[in-house]
């Protein structure tokens, strides 16, 4: 795949000519409903391999190094001299690189009948590129019983697409994760026993392959109780041929303070569970100040620490499929950003005729605009460039894979690039 960033004066026709493809191919790949383009918009061009345009200071050696290939091969493929200087702007063809296998995990949140049906369609669309499909979530009651989400056809969809189904268990109570509920689950043995029996029964009778705990806001004094609970349930799950996984807050050290972090013991989870999803997103969040949602510099810091506590083969990077639109000025406790899909972000930029900028440090696109009520806004979101940067990080660190929170928001470039970069591990048919 080729990523093209729209420049002033570009049209779909000129871009198609540049890459020897057609307007319909580009439109379909990027789910464009009109020929309108935004300056700074990243398009995915579905070609085999990609093109590179020579920049000042480039050499065959530096370009080949950038794409992890030999300069002799690069010269031969493009029929250029190894010794002659490269003209600025020369288009070089980069053949496709070997793909590595990864695990991909998709959370899907079926809330209400209408949304449930829409998400069911989304799951069916993207499950071929998912190792695990994870309906969010089974909620633990205070007596240890579970309230299921409206599954509809999720399990059938997973089976038809050779995806494993993951049973996600949470301490959600109402709209939030509940610390008191977590404490009860982790310290009252009768509640634990009921919960474990319920999980085993549901997982084995309904065809789940993985049990995934997303326990958040656990009191810090229950850190060892959480570890002990995982040690208690692990052999029961293994006996039934079930995997055990967890979701963990993004930490930078074992002693990081805060309710979100203290009870998540990376080292213990690395020893006990089969894999952990590190929730490397929400630096920019709805109730917080405008920031990139998953800036790659911060994501890499978290993953580098994670590698000191657990093996790469157990680490899955969390990835948002959304951005936020903040109304300015931001006032803590009063301002709440609106969640939007990458496709919505581009439409907002077009509607307000503003260009999209790109933060090279965060590897994230953003723009500002003025609405009809003369209020200032800033939007941070994801695009083809930002997601490709995350894919490159997965390859660089050699970790297990990627987990998406959450399915249902339109981001076509992600799925094209995921398939272009990786071989997705699937359940054997």
Check which CATH number belongs to the domain holding 332 and give it. Answer: 3.20.20.80
Residue 367 has pLDDT above 90, yes or no: yes
Catalytic residue among 72, 117, 156, 216: 216
Task: Report the pLDDT averaged over residues 153-168.
Answer: 91
Task: Report the pLDDT averaged over residues 180-195.
Answer: 98
Task: Report the pLDDT averaged over residues 264-291.
Answer: 97
290 with 385, same domain: the answer is yes
What pLDDT score was predicted for residue 139?
A: 97
What pLDDT score was predicted for residue 410?
A: 87
Q: Is residue 358 part of a domain?
A: yes
Helix H or strand E encompassing 194: helix 189-206
What pLDDT score was predicted for residue 126?
A: 85
77 with 108, same domain: the answer is no
In CATH, what number is assigned to the domain containing residue 57?
3.10.350.10
What pLDDT score was predicted for residue 231?
A: 98
User: Of 85, 87, 77, whose CA–CA distance to 53 is shortest?
Assistant: 87
User: Of 131, 391, 363, 137, whose CA–CA distance to 247 is shortest?
Assistant: 137
262 with 322, same domain: the answer is yes
76 with 212, same domain: the answer is no
Task: Report the pLDDT averaged over residues 165-192.
Answer: 97
Q: Which of 94, 114, 133 is the last residue of a domain?
A: 94
What pLDDT score was predicted for residue 115?
A: 46
Q: How confident is the model at residue 99 (pLDDT cuts 50, 70, 90)?
A: very high
What pLDDT score was predicted for residue 243?
A: 98
Residue 111 has pLDDT above 70, yes or no: no
Q: Which residue has the higher pLDDT, 151 or 370?
A: 370
How is residue 323 written in tokens? Answer: 């951005």
20 with 145, same domain: the answer is no
Residue 234 has pLDDT above 50, yes or no: yes
Q: CA–CA separation, 418 vs 388, rounded Å? A: 8
Q: What is the crossing angle of helices 179-187 and 223-239, to 10°?
A: 60
Residue 72 has pLDDT above 70, yes or no: yes
Task: Report the pLDDT averaged over residues 45-56.
Answer: 93
Q: How confident is the model at residue 55 (pLDDT cuts 50, 70, 90)?
A: very high
Q: Is residue 429 part of a domain?
A: no
Q: CA–CA separation, 165 vs 134, rounded Å? A: 6
Q: Which of 45, 73, 94 is the last residue of a domain?
A: 94
Give burial (CB, 10 Å; 0-12/13-18/19+) of 69. middle
DSSP E strands in 179-237: the ranges are 210-214
Task: Report the pLDDT averaged over residues 361-382.
Answer: 98
User: Of 90, 89, 17, whose CA–CA distance to 47 is shortest?
Assistant: 17
The answer to whether 72 is a known catalytic residue is: no
Residue 358 has pLDDT above 90, yes or no: yes
What pLDDT score was predicted for residue 429?
A: 66
351 with 410, same domain: the answer is yes
Task: Report the pLDDT averaged over residues 37-62.
Answer: 95
Task: Report the pLDDT averaged over residues 407-429.
Answer: 92
* Cβ partners under 8 Å of residue 35, min gap 6: 11, 12, 23, 27
> From the centroid of its chain, how far is CA 322?
9
Residue 80 has pLDDT above 50, yes or no: yes
Residue 325 has pLDDT above 50, yes or no: yes
168 with 306, same domain: the answer is yes
87 with 124, same domain: the answer is no
Average pLDDT, the chain: 94
78 with 160, same domain: the answer is no
Give burial (CB, 10 Å; 0-12/13-18/19+) of 348. buried
Q: Is 137 helix (H, G, I), strand (E, B) or coil?
A: coil
What pLDDT score was predicted for residue 84?
A: 87
403 with 308, same domain: the answer is yes
Q: CA–CA separation, 290 vs 337, rounded Å? A: 8
Q: What percent of the chain has pLDDT over 90?
A: 87
What pLDDT score was predicted for residue 116?
A: 53
Tell me: the pLDDT tens digits for 204-222? 999 999 999 999 999 999 9
How is residue 155 written in tokens? Answer: 């399990």
Q: Is residue 108 part of a domain?
A: yes
What pLDDT score was predicted for residue 276?
A: 98
Q: CA–CA separation, 123 vs 110, rounded Å? A: 10
The total of structural domains in the chain comes to 2
7 with 142, same domain: the answer is no
Q: How confident is the model at residue 112 (pLDDT cuts 50, 70, 90)?
A: low
Q: Is residue 12 part of a domain?
A: yes
pTM: 0.93
Tell me: the pLDDT tens digits for 161-174? 999 999 999 999 99
Containing structural domain, residue 153? 102-424
What pLDDT score was predicted for residue 351?
A: 97
Q: Which of 59, 94, 129 is the last residue of a domain?
A: 94
Residue 266 has pLDDT above 80, yes or no: yes
198 with 137, same domain: the answer is yes
């Amino acid at each position: 795949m080729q990523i093209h960033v729209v420049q002033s004066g570009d049209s779909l026709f000129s871009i198609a000519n540049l890459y020897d493809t057609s307007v319909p191919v580009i439109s379909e790949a990027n789910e464009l409903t009109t020929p309108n383009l935004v300056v700074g918009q990243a398009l995915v061009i579905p070609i085999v391999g990609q093109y590179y345009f020579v920049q000042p200071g480039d050499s065959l050696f530096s370009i080949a190094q950038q794409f992890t290939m030999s300069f002799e091969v690069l010269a031969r493929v493009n029929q250029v001299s190894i010794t002659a200087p490269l003209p600025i702007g020369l288009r070089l063809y980069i053949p496709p690189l070997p793909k590595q296998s990864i695990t991909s995990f998709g959370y899907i949140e079926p809330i209400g009948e209408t949304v449930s049906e829409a998400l069911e369609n989304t799951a069916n669309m993207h499950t071929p590129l998912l190792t695990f499909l994870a309906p969010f979530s089974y909620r633990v009651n205070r007596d240890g019983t579970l309230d299921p989400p409206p599954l509809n056809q999720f399990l059938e969809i997973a089976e038809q697409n050779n995806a494993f189904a993951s049973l996600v268990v949470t301490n959600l109570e109402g709209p939030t994760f509940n610390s008191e509920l977590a404490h009860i689950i982790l310290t009252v043995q009768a509640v634990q026993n009921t919960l474990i029996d319920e999980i085993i029964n549901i997982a084995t009778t309904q065809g789940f392959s993985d049990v995934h705990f997303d326990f958040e806001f656990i009191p810090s004094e229950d850190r060892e109780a959480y570890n002990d609970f995982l040690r208690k349930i692990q052999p029961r799950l293994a006996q039934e041929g079930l995997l055990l996984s967890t979701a963990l807050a993004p930490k930078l050290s074992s002693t990081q303070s805060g309710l979100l972090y203290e009870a998540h013991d990376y080292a213990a989870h690395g020893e006990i569970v089969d894999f952990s999803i590190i929730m490397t997103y929400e630096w920019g969040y709805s109730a917080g100040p405008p920031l990139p949602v998953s800036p790659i510099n911060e994501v890499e810091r978290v993953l580098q620490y994670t590698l000191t506590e657990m093996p790469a083969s157990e680490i899955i990077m969390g990835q948002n499929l959304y951005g936020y639109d903040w109304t300015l000025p931001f006032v803590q406790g009063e301002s709440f950003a609106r969640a939007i899909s990458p496709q919505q972000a581009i439409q907002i930029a077009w509607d307000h005729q503003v260009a999209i900028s790109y933060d090279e440090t965060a590897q994230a696109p953003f723009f500002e605009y003025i609405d009809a009520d003369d209020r200032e806004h800033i939007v941070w979101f994801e695009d083809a460039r930002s997601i490709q940067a995350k894919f490159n990080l997965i390859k660089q660190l050699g970790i297990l894979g990627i987990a998406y929170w959450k399915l249902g928001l339109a981001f076509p470039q992600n799925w094209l690039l995921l398939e272009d970069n990786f071989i997705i591990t699937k359940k054997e048919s």
